[in-house]
Amino acid sequence: RRGMPFDPFEINEINYGDLVDSTLPTFNRLVVRTRNAILRSGLENEDGSSAATTRTAFNWDDAGKELTPEEWDADLRESRSGVLLDCRNSYESDVGTFAGADPLDTDVFSESWDILKAKTKDLDKREPVRIFCTGGIRCVKVGAYLKQELGFDDVRRLEHGIIGYERWAAEEK
């Protein structure tokens, strides 16, 4: 608890039951580190400038149109053009994906950029590019990259990713 700006157990003591002696510390030392980013993409340097591109920085607000799960579902069912990219890691895509989705097959997110260039090099920049990930964070970065670095006009991303879609689908049953 030393060094933290608050006491995380101030309101409620942790109930360990009969598993451990609650008077003993759980860890020898608790280390909490802050990071500048939730997800390391390899696009940004520590100062926020771009590392993997010629851009000075990406505008994360310009990452394509975010579709609700309901809009996404209708869009996939109605549309016959464009491409559908699964921006998750290989082990996530292997568990399951949307029919017709093209997985990036990465082990770590920072591998995405060269793969995106290769997978999209022959695509019409005006055709829709639909992207999805697990929770939505990767799609913001991929969407910004597709629009701002690769020049795609119509990028559509799934709000809250697969997790949001599964929640919506369960409610629809």
Catalytic residues: 133
| Distance in angstroms (rounded) separating the CA atoms of residues 156 and 138 | 13
| Distance in angstroms (rounded) separating the CA atoms of residues 37 and 90 | 22
| Distance in angstroms (rounded) separating the CA atoms of residues 119 and 84 | 11
User: Exposed, middle or buried by CB within 10 Å (0-12, 13-18, 19+), for 122?
Assistant: exposed
| Distance in angstroms (rounded) separating the CA atoms of residues 149 and 151 | 6
Amino acid at the residue 137: I
